Structure 1
């Protein structure tokens, strides 16, 4: 008989670890670009690359680790990822030049890619299939809180203290993650250790990617490119329109909107199906970007944050659950990795490409372009959703 309980000890501990990991990620992703401009005098595009190269490291890590989880066990993979994360967090103090900073951002991204793929897989493995959408919705609240608190504290600390204080804060959080790891019970590898070397040789494309997850992963890629423009350039945009003090609350409003809606959208996904949730989410996301492009007052900026939270915030968690639909239990790690690979690709390359556009079209027009990107994502989802929803594999 299926155990339908969600809130188990391991679920809570893993969610907290994931929250801390994402807190560090989002805290730095909104501050490292301004830091690069201030410290090294680089262009907006290069600053975007410094921000985005973190995600490129994450992407590469996911490509390597997705198929290994089922062979080595997700807990062992998580330990490796947390160790790399702690080392990278400490090395920020030694990043005395732009190349060293970029190299450490890349290493930090690898650590997050390994760790977050492991946490996402562990949660998917422990959730009952009939409540997986709801459970992932709850789990992803840890990321939502991080997307709000991280940028809020990042902007707050960077405006009041030197960046070394911010780096020290990140190192302390990473060490806490490492300590919490030992409260998670051991998980067995799906494949015996003796079969590991031969299995790694045979990974191939299908070993690295789950084909069933590709359609929604591609839609997620487009949505992630759009949201990367919000993450990486909201501080610059706010300074341009004289709303710097309000900008620090943008992600707080974003999180509040998602916190109140996410528990319901996860249940609706399980009960009503994919279209019932994804269509409104992408439409709201596009509307929020449209409002952001026309922002001229603080209340408009905060309202845009709330609408984008209802849109992208809910789409992201629902898309992750959709990526796992119809996937065999032993392929959950690869499916989770596939989803995050495309998400990370959008987050990683988006800031660099969009940074090239900013000097040409400006920030307001940039957000109009990103609105069109979301509309294209919606069109692709409509195309993909013509096939009927696949049942969850028990």
Structure 2
């Protein structure tokens, strides 16, 4: 009897979800809450990108060498990576709001401190605090974005969520270089701190965990909350009987189904990182070195070629990234992920092939292919990053989305961080041409990995 009731309840729940979803796009995607999360993400990544690009210039003004700037970059990356490992399960257990607030506060403190106490030891300590705060805030905000999106538009929404990162990639470094060129140069840290405080203000309004009824009807967080409420009500009348049936089913009877969102307790490394996120995280780990080259070396490569404005590469890539994400509704959640990733791979290979071609001509003749490469690079990044994150999220239960996003972002950080050292060594030994060929190999290898790891269903 209990089994029949459980099956009937599951059919009713599925019917309700289908009814709530209705026609495609029936639920609003750009709710005020989702817009706040995107705005907070924009502020966070502007600070992170600004610190990465402005710190080395600030140190150069202070008479420090490039080696010290490299040490600080490594310290930031290590602190961020360790925090992602620890932060994922904490977000799942204690909630997204606390992690976002604490992360933004730590980022603000770590950003303003170098302007107040200026010595090498303080810089190292501040980069650690910055890495912890940045990692906690971005891991929690990525999970929060998945929480508040309608289930039928999850992939599309994650693409829009990445708009904050895309805009920050263009605005953050340019703003940082402007601030550090003013008098005094400490304006870099004061200005970025102001942006961080603005992001903290946005975060204070993201308290959906206290009122999940504000969320779209098919959002995973609201569905989990409603299932728990229903389970609590049912538990008042038959908790003991249900527990006995679940733990000791009668012969031939299936165990009672778990409530939506319930997950068995995990131990060891599975409690920290979510292995079911690997189908999206592994392709991103292999692909990230290509983006690492774009972040750290394309500007230097353009300068060595005599490109008139190497920074335009980043502006064009950011614009194309924004355009492709604004139009992601046409393919995200509608087209099989492997087909979308195949298109992204073609754009990525084309981008770096154009960069290679730009270096084949004489001085000043490679401007056009260099800039066109930036456009295709932005399309590749604009598609592949949210796509792989969507695959990772959809392949895991909502109760583990904190650990899922932690693993995905950790894979991205490791791919970019490790490649920055490797590409530097290859550049010094064999030149940019050989490095770009290695980058193209990484892009093709990422597509091969996706063919192996992606779920077979749409």
Shared fold (TM-score, shorter chain, > 0.5): yes
Partner residue in 2 for 1:84:
106
Partner residue in 2 for 1:305:
374
Moved more, 125-134 or 163-172: 163-172
Partner residue in 2 for 1:349:
418
Partner residue in 2 for 1:295:
358
Indicate how the Cα distance of structure 1 residues 134 and 204 shifts in structure 2: closer, same or farther if over 3 A, else same. Answer: same
Q: Give CA-to-partner distance per residue, 1:4-38, whole Å, 9 cap, x none.
A: 22111111111100001011212232344455566
Q: Give CA-to-partner distance per residue, 1:116-164, whole Å, 9 cap, x none.
A: 1111111111111111001111111111111122233344555666642
Partner residue in 2 for 1:108:
130
2:319 to 256, 280, 284: 256
Partner residue in 1 for 2:50:
27
Q: What SS does the aligned partner of 1:7 have?
A: coil
Structure 2: which 5+ runs fail to align? 1-15, 22-26, 211-220, 229-262, 360-365
Partner residue in 2 for 1:269:
332
Q: What SS does the aligned partner of 1:246 have?
A: coil
Counterparts of 1:236 and 1:206, CA distance in 2: 41
Partner residue in 1 for 2:240:
none
2:451 to 366, 369, 382: 382
After TM superposition, list the pairs within 5 Å mapping 1:1-394 onto structure 2.
1=16, 2=20, 4-33=27-56, 39-43=63-67, 47-93=69-115, 96-98=118-120, 100-158=122-180, 163-188=185-210, 203-243=267-307, 246-296=309-359, 297-385=366-454, 387-389=455-457
State whether residues 269 and 276 of structure 1, in contact with CA within 8 Å, keep that contact through their aligned partners in structure 2.
no
Indicate how the Cα distance of structure 1 residues 349 and 266 shifts in structure 2: closer, same or farther if over 3 A, else same. Answer: farther
Indicate how the Cα distance of structure 1 residues 352 and 319 shifts in structure 2: closer, same or farther if over 3 A, else same. Answer: same
User: Shift of the alpha carbon at 1:54?
Assistant: 2.2
User: Shift of the alpha carbon at 1:49?
Assistant: 4.7
Counterparts of 1:76 and 1:305, CA distance in 2: 38
User: Shift of the alpha carbon at 1:241?
Assistant: 2.4
State whether residues 273 and 404 of structure 2, in contact with CA within 8 Å, keep that contact through their aligned partners in structure 1.
yes
Counterparts of 2:387 and 2:79, CA distance in 1: 25
Higher relative contact order (CA 8 A, sep 6+): 1
| TM-score of the two chains, using structure 1 as the length reference | 0.87
| TM-score of the two chains, using structure 2 as the length reference | 0.76
State whether residues 169 and 318 of structure 2, in contact with CA within 8 Å, keep that contact through their aligned partners in structure 1.
yes
- The alignment yields a C-alpha RMSD, in angstroms, of 2.7
State whether residues 48 and 232 of structure 1, in contact with CA within 8 Å, keep that contact through their aligned partners in structure 2.
no
- Rg bigger for which structure? 2
State whether residues 136 and 317 of structure 1, in contact with CA within 8 Å, keep that contact through their aligned partners in structure 2.
yes
Q: Give CA-to-partner distance per residue, 1:289-335, whole Å, 9 cap, x none.
A: 22223325332322111110011221101111111113212112211
Indicate how the Cα distance of structure 1 residues 312 and 52 shifts in structure 2: closer, same or farther if over 3 A, else same. Answer: farther
Moved more, 179-188 or 334-343: 179-188
Counterparts of 1:137 and 1:154, CA distance in 2: 26
State whether residues 268 and 277 of structure 1, in contact with CA within 8 Å, keep that contact through their aligned partners in structure 2.
yes
State whether residues 55 and 347 of structure 1, in contact with CA within 8 Å, keep that contact through their aligned partners in structure 2.
no
State whether residues 152 and 252 of structure 1, in contact with CA within 8 Å, keep that contact through their aligned partners in structure 2.
no
User: Shift of the alpha carbon at 1:67?
Assistant: 0.7
Q: What SS does the aligned partner of 2:297 have?
A: helix
Structure 1: which 5+ runs fail to align? 193-198
State whether residues 30 and 232 of structure 1, in contact with CA within 8 Å, keep that contact through their aligned partners in structure 2.
no
